[in-house]
Structure 1
Amino acid sequence: MNTKRWIALIVAAALLGISLVINSAFAVLQSDFTSGFNDWMGTEQTGLGEQVIETGDASNRIAVLTVDGAIQDTGDASLFAAAGYNHDLFMEQLEAVKADDSVQGVVLNVNSPGGGVVESAQIHDKITEIQEETGKPLYVSMGSMAASGGYYISAPAEKIFVNEETLTGSIGVIMQSVNYGELAERYGVDFVTIKSGPYKDIMSPTREMTEDERALLQEMLDSSYEQFVDVIEQGRDMTEAEVKEYADGRIMNGRQAVEANLADDFGYEEDVIQAMRDDFNLNGEVFEYGVSNDWTSLFAMKAGSFFGMDMETKLIADMLTQNSGPRMMYLYGDN
């Protein structure tokens, strides 16, 4: 490994250590301050601010939520990258919508290539729980992309709105890994693996997969695929045959989605809000939950600039901070 790579590795490791210290300290300080403030005010801790988009009746409101980016539970933001989609925060927002009696309708903006099977299912289940237990309607406004897991979380909506050029569909499940065993052998790298069972290193990047292993994984993916199909059947009131006509992983634009009954109409966010107002006679306030004032997210941008992180450094940082093990994904594209 050359000098540049050693420097990149040292910088990434140092940033990881600093990030852990700052995140821990900030979490403690934020928790103590918020708890004390709420005790003084006599209010419960929610941690969610609100930003009004349109004024109106405060007892008859529409909440606008947003899923932007890959749907993955990556934990707290690190210093290596500005915060993107925050799974815990979004689940907290859904819980707040459910508990707030002043919220009479929800508009969900989806701009996502999909993501984790588990995270997508969590969002879907919470949305259906809100609908069934509170009767609050939910409309989806799809952005430039709402594919795979992005469609999975949209399926329960009373109505789905797209743009003609929205990329959606990609109904299916994928699991990927990289096999660099032959390359390693060429450079004389020998991998030593000690395992407790024949399948413990399944999808190992250092050897070819056996047919038995492939069959085991295919069975898992087929089960998740059928769950995806069921979600669309229930959400879109379609038969299994109607769903599977398009559930082959294909991507489609908004016009094709409407023709396939996977979406209802065309419109941007403001059109979706107006449609909800008209359909449910809601003349109240429209709001969204405020953006978290996350110090680590701000520091992330500054850290990258300060250290001049190039692509190689970023890749090393990603290796240090992310679990790169294979996992089932409702995901479109190379993300």
Structure 2
Amino acid sequence: MNMKRWIALVIAVGLFFVSIAFQFISSIATADFESMFSMEQIDDDISEKVIEEGAGTNKIAVLHLNGVIQDTTPSSFINTGAYNHKRFLEMLDKAGEDRNVSGIILRVNTPGGGVVESAEIHDKIVEIQEEYEKPVYVSMGNTAASGGYYIAAPADKIIAHNATLTGSIGVIMESFNFAELADKIGVDFNTIKSGEYKDIMSTSREMTDSEREILQTMIDDMYDDFVQVIVDGRDLSEPRVRELGDGRVYTGAQAQEVNLVDELGSLDDTIAMMIEEQELGNAKVVEYEQGLGINQFLGVSMQSMFRADSDMFEIQDLLREGNAPRAMYLYSK
């Protein structure tokens, strides 16, 4: 490599680090430090931020559920915005156990996710209602479909925006079949298995009728559970739920017409409804946050600097998940 190329390489590396430093400084300059350091730490990994002051000791806790509901650990500290299932369950526990919390609002913005994870959140909500006798309201964001509706079903009240996408009641399991492509490009699959169905949903061959029947039975069982959750939570008849639960999505307005949601409104409207209906006029309204403010800030700053790498980590996670087909309460377009 001649001298000119070395000089060009040094300049490129220098510009790269200058760019990183500039983005980091910009993040610091635009950060809301007052908000960050005003959060009260209630746990090593959970803090609460006051969004509406109150005169008494009672509180309304607002918990945000964003993203696909999966029990996966974020791939790195850069990926701070990913849904953290363990942390969300812990926040529900904290809100339930806190004697000063008189009501809980879940702000749900998710296309759904894993069957087990959705059931765990649903069961935790029911536990809070029964054991602590606290009202739980759900405020739906852009999307609260499939697993998002599953966890909303037991709520004391469901409020959606007019344009919210909800419903998508049902279960889905998918896999790829690369057999024909492999034949064309000359790729052989070698599979050694202990039983006939060990490689069920294999990507290397067509599914057999008996395999399809096995999986359909599983999906039907999970769908029955979904239907029962809505029957119990919404006080609708089973035939009516099955009629509504053909997998289609509804707007918030459509969902209200068929009694899948109670009211139309925003998160602010939901807070106002809880204050009025539960007689919590003096309650302070707080939002539960994940982690310390400064740690969140540093993580988000790093994420903004390495956005391409962060997106790549997420793609790698999806590919790893895709290797193991699983049943999902998930709305996918």
Q: What does 1:124-203 align with in structure 2 at a 5 Å threshold? A: 124-203=122-201
Structure 1 residue 319 displacement after superposition: 6.1
- Partner secondary structure for residue 49 of structure 1: strand
How far does the alpha carbon of each residue in 1:204-247 deviate from its partner, in whole angstroms, 9 at most, with x for none?
A: 01100001100000000000000000000000011101111101
1:298, 1:324 → 2: CA distance? 32
Q: Which runs of 5+ in 2 are unaligned?
A: 1-40
2:128, 2:314 → 1: CA distance? 39
2:168, 2:247 → 1: CA distance? 4
Change (3 A) 1:81 1:48: closer
Matched, 1:330 2:333: no
1:256, 1:185 → 2: CA distance? 47
Partner of 1:317: 316
> Counterpart of 1:228 in structure 2: which amino acid?
F
Deviates more, 1:74-83 or 1:280-289: 74-83
2:149, 2:71 → 1: CA distance? 18
Structure 1 residue 268 displacement after superposition: 0.2
Partner of 1:223: 221
Matched, 1:302 2:300: no
Change (3 A) 1:135 1:217: same
The answer on whether the counterparts of 2:172 and 2:327 sit within 8 Å (CA) in structure 1 is yes
2:173, 2:67 → 1: CA distance? 19
4+ residue segments displaced more than 6 Å: none
Partner of 1:105: 103
Structure 1 residue 317 displacement after superposition: 3.1
> Counterpart of 2:302 in structure 1: which amino acid?
F
Partner of 2:85: 87
The answer on whether the counterparts of 2:87 and 2:290 sit within 8 Å (CA) in structure 1 is no
1:47 to 45, 48, 70: 45
Q: What does 1:238-317 align with in structure 2 at a 5 Å threshold? A: 238-282=236-280, 283-292=282-291, 293-294=295-296, 298-305=301-308, 317=316
> Counterpart of 1:52 in structure 2: which amino acid?
V
Structure 1 residue 302 displacement after superposition: 2.9
- Partner secondary structure for residue 201 of structure 2: coil
Structure 1 residue 46 displacement after superposition: 4.5
Structure 1 residue 80 displacement after superposition: 7.0
> Counterpart of 1:125 in structure 2: which amino acid?
D
- Partner secondary structure for residue 290 of structure 1: strand
Partner of 1:39: none
Structure 1 residue 48 displacement after superposition: 1.3
Identity of aligned residues (%): 51
Q: How many residues align?
A: 288
How far does the alpha carbon of each residue in 1:70-111 deviate from its partner, in whole angstroms, 9 at most, with x for none?
A: 111111342674532111110010010111000000111111
The answer on whether the counterparts of 2:74 and 2:82 sit within 8 Å (CA) in structure 1 is no
1:235, 1:189 → 2: CA distance? 50
1:288, 1:147 → 2: CA distance? 23
1:55, 1:79 → 2: CA distance? 32
> Counterpart of 2:83 in structure 1: which amino acid?
Y
- Partner secondary structure for residue 196 of structure 2: coil
- Partner secondary structure for residue 261 of structure 2: coil
The answer on whether the counterparts of 2:42 and 2:48 sit within 8 Å (CA) in structure 1 is no
Change (3 A) 1:235 1:137: same
Structure 1 residue 255 displacement after superposition: 1.1
TM-score (norm 1): 0.81
How far does the alpha carbon of each residue in 1:298-335 deviate from its partner, in whole angstroms, 9 at most, with x for none?
A: 53443345x6x8x8x6687346754631000000014x
Change (3 A) 1:319 1:261: closer
Matched, 1:116 2:119: no
The answer on whether the counterparts of 1:77 and 1:297 sit within 8 Å (CA) in structure 2 is no
Q: Which runs of 5+ in 1 are unaligned?
A: 1-42
TM-score (norm 2): 0.81
The answer on whether the counterparts of 2:152 and 2:158 sit within 8 Å (CA) in structure 1 is yes
- Partner secondary structure for residue 97 of structure 1: helix
> Counterpart of 2:156 in structure 1: which amino acid?
E
1:44, 1:264 → 2: CA distance? 32
The answer on whether the counterparts of 1:82 and 1:301 sit within 8 Å (CA) in structure 2 is no
